[in-house]
Amino acid sequence: VSRCARRCCVSKRLSSLSFRPVAAMSTLLINQPKYTWLKELGLSEDNGGVFNGTWGGKGEVVTSYCPANNEPIARVRQHYAYERFLQIPAPKRGEIVRQIGDALRKKIKVLGSLVSLEMGKIYVEGVGEVQEYVDVCDYAVGLSRMIGGPVLPSERPGHALIEQWNPVGLVGIITAFNFPVAVYGWNNAIALICGNVCLWKGAPTTPLTSVAVTKIVAEVLEQNNLPGAICSMTCGGADIGSAIAKDKQVDLVSFTGSTHVGKQVALMVQERFGKGLLELGGNNAIIVFEDADLNLVVPSALFASVGTAGQRCTTTRRLMLHESVHDEVVERLVKAYKQVRIGDPWDPSTLYGPLHTKQAVQQYLNAVEQAKQQGGTLVCGGKVMDRPGNYVEPTIFTGLAHDAPIVHTETFVPILYVIKFKTEEEAFTWNNEVKQGLSSSIFTKDMGRVFRWLGPKGSDCGIVNVNIPTSGAEIGGAFGGEKHTGGGRESGSDSWKQYMRRSTCTINYSKDLPLAQGIKFE
């Protein structure tokens, strides 16, 4: 097999990052008997944070911390490098991706435990996130035998008109802390079957997860006599992300993160006429009409607003209630909030864990104060919990105006703003008035209303649901949103097209040279 290699190295020192001091070896969780399972993932006290066929790193040494107790887990050295793509037939690439999925299945519990330990989400969500990667691998295997363009009717005799799809080349994948496995999986599995090579920069606060996933993928590639550099990885901060966005050798930049940073990435990529895929913020709403089944509404709103401690891009942040059901839903939801089991993310009975960082705790406190100042009534939560780790109470506010500044702000914390409405037109308008357009949902039994909601005057979001919450999207559909959410699409449907370039091809198999539109040039 031939290999076309090209390498780009960035050797800037990561001086702009603000990490906590490097922890001594004796204090690391990885050396404690309770956490020996981390070594099953190939992790050690000190880990190379760069993979381009071999492990290394020449940059700053950072320590990964556990959000549940703020204790150090292990250390990672940052930097990056990558190698170019190896071309093999799409179905063969699908077979490689199938093997990656099987390798992830074998490590699903231990890898899910690491996600829980390092990110802070509860164990079942950590395992569920790895399952998403597995599911996308299964999906991509079938897709590898289906991708392609149509044969179109030509207006000229003796001519064939076809679409040809080819890989873009190198896909730079920049992911966020809240889904440190799944979002890479959505991009990686689809990019690989399309024929691309990947360079992954995970979040600087979840480097061990990035290392562990890359070790699993690299082992599969090497078992198939393919260079592990096909799926390269770097640990680093904003300067590494900027280097990826600016580098002309990176053909597609897939960025998941905040709208603020996503705009900067988009400008850097567009400045060099590169290709970008953005999956940014969401200020998602559930709208509950007077005919809704409240037995569906309450658990849906609870899961979508409290799940992952409010740190999903699809988290429900606005709950719009028809005035006739407002008081009952609030009463039932507050009761449900108070029954949420808060605790150790690795305890199977826990439903709600910590925020990811101390900075997020401060953002939570700031948002609570702003909501009060803007006229909100605190009906549940509102305080930092007195226990180790980054725990805050899941919180509900009522009484805020639909267009209050805090309501229009995506705060990545478990705060739900409950808004009372009167008419369908009012509710649909309020849903669409925020800058983001990721996910939305209504609860109703009125089929006419359902199709108005799905139609041109309904939701302007990329995900438009009925009688289910805003979170928990399936991998078979295209995932992404409109407006300040970025417009990108990942995972299912025809999202694969974003990882390829299209050529329209006309083939003349006749002995004549007719021109299109009947033009004569003689």
Q: Which residues are catalytic?
A: 279
Check: CB of residue 113 under 8 Å from CB of residue 126: yes
Give CA–CA dist 439/215, Å, rounded: 33
Check: CB of residue 31 under 8 Å from CB of residue 25: yes
Report H helices in 144-237.
182-193, 207-223
Residue 26's contacts (CB-CB under 8 Å, 6 or more residues apart) are none
DSSP 24: P
Give CA–CA dist 121/179, Å, rounded: 9
Distance set, CA 146 to CA 41, 140, 493 (Å): 34, 10, 12
DSSP 352: B
Check: CB of residue 480 under 8 Å from CB of residue 510: no
The H helix count followed by the E strand count for the chain is 12, 24
> What b/e string do you get for 428-466 counting C-beta neighbours within 10 Å, with b at 16 or more?
bebbbebebbbbbbbbbeeeebeebbeeeebbbbbbbbe
Residue 173's contacts (CB-CB under 8 Å, 6 or more residues apart) are 184, 187, 188, 191, 198, 199, 200, 201, 254
Check: CB of residue 448 under 8 Å from CB of residue 466: no
The encoded tokens of residue 379 equal 């009906």
